Amino acid sequence: MTAELVLSNAMIVLEDEIIAGSVLIRDGLIVDISAGASRSGEDFEGDYLVPGLVELHTDHLESHYSPRPGVRWLKMAAIQAHDAQIATAGITTVFDCLRMGSDEDGGFETGEMREMADALALAARENRLRADHRIHLRCEVSTDNVLEQFQEFENDPQVGLVSLMDHAPGQRQFQTMEQYTLYYKTKRGLSDDAFDAFVARQKALSEKYAAPHRSEIVRACAARGIAVASHDDATLEHVEESVGFGIRLAEFPTSVEAAEASHRAGLSVLMGAPNIVRGRSHSGNIAARDLAARGVLDVLSSDYVPFSLIQAPFVLSDELETVSLPQALAMVTATPARTVGLDDRGRIAAGLRADIVRVHRSSGIPVVRSVWREGRRVA
């Protein structure tokens, strides 16, 4: 039997405009978009109808699985709790970050993230999930075991994005020792001697492993058609390397120079939605709003606060005259979907998946009223 749904009296957010009208959904797909009022269907009462949000980088599953140092929660329970928060924030497609590579600073044991991926696949088969979950492998290329952990996913169809990270001192995010000292010494209460030894070990690991691991992972992803992201690019040299590797996504560039160069080269520049909401970076790097004002911000990620992904576009369109609401919402819908090759979602258009969110917003923080994934209400 054909399943049909009409959503009427909505402010429909398209890629370049907002129209008042109705949307017809049939068998999980958008069939028609019509302007003007409709007497049938679910009345949106003038609320926004926006595409389901597409999240490319969130560490939030990790915080449910390991809510305290040394604590491991039941994987399926952690997944379901994470999924509930994701869906009620309007996110219908999510790339869950799984950390590859561990050292004395932390991380997970070899096999642990493989088990999490298996639990995600089981949750999907058992119809436990509201959102469409995919996997983003965050590869710490300066660790000695990153390839071992990465190879556990060599035949996993859930993997749709891989990012290359190096958090060693003097690299990428930590260009200055002031930031590194605050993050690793002060917060962890290390003595001078312990910190000096830690820094020396991290530098040695980076010098030995970062370049060959980066090249090997890029090669493997190219062979499988997996999108690759750079992480914390700071210099023009970093961007040139990313372009040479065929990277599609520049995550959290740490300088305006790197962000502008990435955007010019055709990479999608990603910054954190919490950065937009707060007006600044939590780690002291560049403000995402400044990149938006320069026209070089392409994608937003909720990173560590799922609800920030629906809140940030409204903040941007409120505060920057050069960014309309459709343009801001494209940063969390159409552009991230295109960046990773998901051309069947991210827009309100005939023939695409009916991943749709009802958002009420008269002022201030928006309210997610309802969420549909492939035409089925999930929140």
Q: What pLDDT band is residue 75 in, cutting at 50, 70 and 90? A: very high
Whether the pLDDT of residue 95 is over 60: the answer is: yes
Number of helical (H) and strand (E) elements in the chain, helices listed first: 13, 16
Whether the pLDDT of residue 106 is over 60: the answer is: no
Check residue 171 and give its pLDDT: 59
Give the Cα separation of 152 and 104 in Å (integer).
Answer: 21
pLDDT tens for each residue of 264-296: 999 999 999 999 999 876 555 789 999 999 999
Give the Cα separation of 61 and 97 in Å (integer).
Answer: 8
pLDDT tens for each residue of 331-370: 999 999 999 999 999 999 999 999 999 999 998 999 999 9
pLDDT tens for each residue of 289-321: 999 999 999 999 999 999 999 999 999 999 999
Check residue 203 and give its pLDDT: 81
Check residue 108 and give its pLDDT: 81
The answer to whether 140 and 151 have CB atoms below 8 angstroms apart is no
Give the Cα separation of 288 and 267 in Å (integer).
Answer: 16
pLDDT tens for each residue of 181-206: 656 666 666 777 777 777 788 788 88
What percent of the chain has pLDDT above 70?
91
Q: What pLDDT band is residue 174 in, cutting at 50, 70 and 90? A: low
Residues linked to residue 136 through DSSP beta bridges, in sequence order: 97, 161
Q: What is the mean pLDDT of residues 249-268?
A: 96
CATH code reported for the domain at 1-50+345-379: 2.30.40.10
The answer to whether 296 and 263 have CB atoms below 8 angstroms apart is yes
Q: What is the mean pLDDT of residues 156-184?
A: 75
Average pLDDT, the chain: 91
Give the Cα separation of 149 and 151 in Å (integer).
Answer: 5
The answer to whether 163 and 137 have CB atoms below 8 angstroms apart is yes
Give the Cα separation of 7 and 44 in Å (integer).
Answer: 7
Q: Where in the chain is the domain with CATH 2.30.40.10?
A: 1-50+345-379
Q: Where in the chain is the domain with CATH 3.20.20.140?
A: 53-343
Query: What's the fold here for domain 53-343?
Result: TIM Barrel (3.20.20)
pLDDT tens for each residue of 347-358: 999 999 999 999
| Lowest-confidence region among 83-87, 108-112, 124-128 | 108-112
Q: Which run of H or E residues covers position 218?
A: helix 192-224
The count of other CB atoms within 10 Å of the CB of residue 366 is 21
Whether pTM exceeds 0.95: no
The count of other CB atoms within 10 Å of the CB of residue 220 is 17
Query: Which position has the higher pLDDT, 102 or 99?
Result: 99
Check residue 41 and give its pLDDT: 87
Amino acid in the structure at residue 58: T
Q: What is the mean pLDDT of residues 161-170?
A: 83
Q: Report the half-sphere exposure of 242 (CA within 13 A, side-chain side).
A: 34
The answer to whether 198 and 184 have CB atoms below 8 angstroms apart is yes
